[in-house]
């Protein structure tokens, strides 16, 4: 079972998933993919994806179940979670959630996905848009290629909140002054208001 959770919007990699399903099917790999996420207001886009899957002969291997209240169980039941966003994202909650429950993630090596996979599951890294490498990595993971490493404690919600509060405290106490940013060649709002 492949899982691509998240918003059903262009740029999240659904078309890449459908092409991957076609490649896997052609190679004789029996696999199904589900894409949980709200269908409300996304009917036209989902219709386009279903047409694409039909044209490639894999519509019976793809499900859009809508919003799921049991995502932890869905993650745990997946063989591989995919993170195929076209554009880099600062942090990928879906990648972190899957890795936290020990499910292999195959994703594009950019932004937060790349950072997480480099630390926890480097075997899941794929050059963005590389269809052949995506196929190889997913097939490898489906064959039991490896399991993700231990989820780092510094990525826990509590630790991230602690670091965020620490950063806010530094800012409020004046440790990060406008001059520090200007010295580094980075303008800040305080510089814009100086007369």
185-195 per-position pLDDT tens digit: 554 444 444 44
C-alpha of 142 from chain center: 18
Give the domain ranges of the chain: 2-142, 156-192
Burial of residue 51 (CB within 10 Å: 0-12, 13-18, 19+) is exposed
Q: Is 114 helix (H, G, I), strand (E, B) or coil?
A: helix
Q: What angle do CA 69, 94, 41 make, to 5 degrees?
A: 60
Q: Is the dihedral of CA 102, 108, 112, 118 positive or negative?
A: positive
Q: State the CB neighbour count (10 A cutoff) for residue 68.
A: 14
pLDDT value at position 166?
Answer: 75
User: Tens of pLDDT along 90-138?
Assistant: 888 888 888 888 899 999 999 999 999 998 889 999 999 999 999 999 9
Average pLDDT of the residues in 138-148: 85
Q: State the CB neighbour count (10 A cutoff) for residue 126.
A: 26
Q: Whole-model pTM above 0.85?
A: no
Please tell me the least confidently modeled range out of 48-52, 58-62, 92-96, 107-111. Answer: 92-96
Fold topology of 2-142: Rossmann fold (3.40.50)
């Amino acid at each position: 079972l492949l899982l691509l959770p998240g918003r059903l919007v262009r740029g999240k990699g659904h078309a890449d998933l459908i092409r991957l399903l076609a490649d896997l099917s052609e190679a004789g790999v029996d696999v199904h993919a589900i894409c949980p996420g709200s269908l409300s207001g996304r009917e036209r886009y989902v219709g386009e994806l279903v047409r694409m899957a039909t044209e490639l002969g894999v519509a019976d291997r793809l499900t859009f179940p809508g919003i799921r209240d049991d995502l932890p169980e869905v993650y745990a039941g997946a063989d591989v979670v995919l993170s195929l966003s076209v554009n880099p994202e600062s942090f990928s909650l879906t990648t972190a959630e899957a890795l936290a429950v020990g499910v292999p993630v195959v994703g594009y090596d950019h932004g937060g996905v790349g950072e997480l996979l480099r630390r926890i599951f480097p075997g899941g890294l794929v050059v963005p848009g590389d269809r052949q490498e995506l196929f190889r990595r997913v097939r490898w993971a489906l064959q039991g290629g490896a399991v993700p490493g231990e989820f780092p404690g510094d990525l826990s919600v509590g630790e991230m909140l602690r670091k965020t509060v620490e950063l806010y405290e530094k800012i409020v106490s004046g440790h990060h002054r406008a001059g520090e940013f200007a010295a580094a060649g980075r303008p800040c709002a305080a510089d814009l208001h100086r007369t």
